[in-house]
Structure 1
């Protein structure tokens, strides 16, 4: 079973519905022991980086997530959840993240409207199994004001262009991040979740 961490920052029901559609059983939890006993972990999220990190710490989940990542358990971060995997965020100050991936999170740059809301295309990078069945320039749904930068280019699986190149899918071993919302991205999003499920198996 996949543990979805519900720390009060995301639409969990739509994510569970999408996982059910691709036959990936999941449950919602904030119990550290249940997270430890799960087959994989999803960290969703919308909202402020600082508040999200404080919630994880208060729930005793920060250290558990780090330990499970170190143990090789598959972790998927969605939107803010992906950003939390990185070292530092400069959202309304400077805040320490989980530090599972190299890089920082900063406000979207360029002469574009922020937040970035709506459908945008994915540029595929390489032949990663996460991209199975995903045609280049497929559309996915974004809602964010901040994005990852100064990251390890070798982790880039998919990007979008909005005021510059924005990492949209990243992977380093067992850690996967998606800046967009696969659960709101129609058939493309479902295919991506299905691909994550294959990696979990």
Structure 2
């Protein structure tokens, strides 16, 4: 987290590489215990995809299920929050998973060559049994893309995971375990590598 981001945070919110702590406007019940704060873990790709599947297209239910899982509270606990406090949880989530930078400027966490993109992760992750803080994707071939398309049969999210696994040498399960912000960085890196012919 940069100093500029820290200075712009409201007093009721604190962030780390692993999650956020939201101070509520009033005590509330969570898991039958009175709490004054909610702790949200940084979401993984796997958690977000599970909430997507379980919600069956209902965006509000998806968000509730995702937040409940990240805060380790029940859906009824979240539904019992005052609206102001729920909005604080939403704000905390938006800080945990900021919009990915697709602008022309090169973010500090990204290094790009004609052969690969190297992404610095927001926090170390385990890939192939080793803790890493950077992950490289080699430049894809037409064959890589076609193989990923064949393997997943039309599931775009799974296709992307399979393709990134092939390009990074990491198992799909390890990529699903990445923090969402780091997977978004991989997507942005791939997008730049795939679309930038003026390196």
TM-score calculated relative to the size of structure 1: 0.27
Which structure has the highest helix share of the two? Answer: 2
TM-score calculated relative to the size of structure 2: 0.27
